[in-house]
Chain A
Amino acid sequence: MPTKLNLLPSNLQVSKGLGSFLKASRSLGVILIVIFAIFSLGIGGFFVLSKITLGNLQTKVNQLTSQVKAQETSEQQLILLKDRLAKIASARNDPNAYKNITNVDSLFTNISPVSSMNQANISSSKIDISLVARSNEDLATFINNLKGTTLFNTVNLSSLSFSPKTGYALTVSLGNK
């Protein structure tokens, strides 16, 4: 029967357990080296692809930048437009008596020329009118115009007097909407 001979010197021999450990660690080392190689290649490849993408994007951004710079005049004009339009909109919040002046004219509709408006003081917030109505009809027409208007918040008849020579003199204060 053949006999197994171990000719390795005793001081060079390793134990069974240690031998298994050494075998396993060598295998693990090989696997780790392979994984490391794949990992490094992957990282390197991804880095190169990203660099190419970035380069292409930079080229496109540079092209767009030159095109935008070529539209400089349009940009200035647009900025100017927006600036002016914003300021004009802000200015329109300022008090303006224009509306009251054009509205007050409607109160004299159908009034005969013999009746006259003595005085009208018109601002953005208030209208004071002094009127001389020569006839009952003109007075009634004016009062009806006052009643019918929806353009003013408040209407105060400050005074009303009658003179046979001049007719009805009235003073009205109007507050606008």
Chain B
Amino acid sequence: MNKFFDSVPENQKQIIKSVAPLVIVLILFLIVGKFGFAQISKIRSQIKSAEKSESILTDKLSILRSVAQTSATGANSVLFALPKSNPALQTISQLKVLASQNLVVLSDVKSTAGISSSSDLSSVNVSFVLTGTREQIISFIKGLDTIAPVTFVSKMDLSELAGVNVANVTTKTFYAPLPKTIPTVTQPITDLTPSEKDQLVKILGLTPPVFGEYTVTTISEVNPNPFGQ
């Protein structure tokens, strides 16, 4: 090796000695630059992701704190308004209460099995006969708008004979299964919209049935269905 180096002309030796550091520094620039920028780029994207999570969590926490009161009172009311299972018994109970309040005779009460729809909303039909004056019957019908579960009138056939009004009424009451999942901790959540708040106010004004207590079960860490049994 030394013999080889000794055989190199002096000019070339001088050139190598001067240019070699330049080349080494340039190579180091490339290596350090590439590695350094890659690491910085990686850490900057982690910072961006963490900032996004921080923003989402801050908003989420603010919303959850502000709706805590409303959610607690509203949750039970909405479950009365739209139960998770066939509400035929609650509906019939409410009809009996309405009948006694409006001094009409309620008879021949029948209910059908639940009818499922594609939108996850099911319904049960309850038919019955009301006997009383027209004003009492109309007042009873108006009362249906004030009870929970939410009940619609599908049809009414009213007839009058010798001063007595008899109405054959068919109502429809809705129910739906509970939601199966909740968003993950870092997923955003939105507050109630103004129209949802208006709707909630109306639902809070509905008269719940005398039986059928619902409580929202607390989540278990291993339970993917927080509302399940």
- Shortest CB-to-CB span from B67 to chain A, Å, is 6
Q: Which of B43, B82, B199, B226 contacts A54 (CB 8 A)?
A: B43
Decide: A68 near B152, CB < 8 A? Known: A47-B39, A50-B43, A82-B196. Answer: no
A118 to B157, CA, bound (A): 11
A85 to B176, CA, bound (A): 11
Contact B50 A58 (CB under 8 A): yes
B227 at the interface (CB under 8 A from A): yes
B96 CB contacts on chain A under 8 angstroms: none
Name the residue of chain B whose CB is nearest to the CB of A67: B61
Decide: A78 near B64, CB < 8 A? Known: A47-B36, A88-B81, A98-B153. Answer: yes
Contact A80 B54 (CB under 8 A): no
A72 CB contacts on chain B under 8 angstroms: 218-219
Name the residue of chain B whose CB is nearest to the CB of A50: B43
Decide: A76 near B227, CB < 8 A? Known: A18-B11, A53-B47, A61-B57. Answer: yes
Contact B160 A116 (CB under 8 A): yes
Contact B196 A75 (CB under 8 A): no
Contact B159 A89 (CB under 8 A): no
Name the residue of chain B whose CB is nearest to the CB of A101: B141
Contact B72 A122 (CB under 8 A): no
Number of chain A residues close to chain B: CB under 8 A: 73
- Tell which of B21-29, B87-95, B103-111 binds the partner: B21-29
Interface size class of B (residues with CB under 8 A): 35 or more
Q: Which of B72, B123, B154, B189 contacts A97 (CB 8 A)?
A: B154
Contact A36 B29 (CB under 8 A): yes
Contact B121 A74 (CB under 8 A): no
B129 at the interface (CB under 8 A from A): no
Q: Which of B44, B50, B153 contacts A61 (CB 8 A)?
A: B50
A71 to B185, CA, bound (A): 10
B46 at the interface (CB under 8 A from A): yes
Known A61-B53, A77-B74; 11 more pairs at CB < 8 Å: A18-B14, A28-B22, A29-B21, A50-B47, A64-B54, A80-B75, A82-B192, A85-B78, A88-B199, A117-B160, A120-B159
Residues of B within 8 A of A (CB): 9-11, 14-15, 18-19, 21-22, 25-26, 28-29, 32-33, 36-37, 39-40, 43-44, 46-47, 50-51, 53-54, 57-58, 60-61, 63-65, 67-68, 70-72, 74-75, 78-79, 81-82, 119-121, 123, 134, 138, 141-142, 144-145, 150, 152-160, 163, 172, 174, 176, 178-179, 182-183, 185-186, 189-190, 192, 196, 199-200, 203, 216, 218-219, 226-227
4 tightest CB-CB pairs across the interface, nearest first? A77-B71, A84-B78, A64-B57, A43-B36
Residues of A within 8 A of B (CB): 11-15, 18, 21-22, 25-26, 28-29, 32-33, 36, 39-40, 43-44, 46-47, 50-51, 53-54, 57-58, 60-61, 64-65, 67-69, 71-85, 87-92, 94-98, 101-102, 105, 108, 116-124
Instruction: Provide 25 A-B residue pairs closer than 8 Å at the C-beta atoms, listed in order of the A residue.
Output: A14-B14, A25-B19, A29-B22, A32-B22, A44-B36, A47-B40, A51-B43, A54-B43, A61-B53, A61-B54, A61-B57, A69-B185, A71-B64, A74-B65, A75-B64, A77-B72, A77-B75, A78-B189, A88-B150, A91-B82, A91-B152, A105-B138, A121-B155, A121-B158, A122-B156
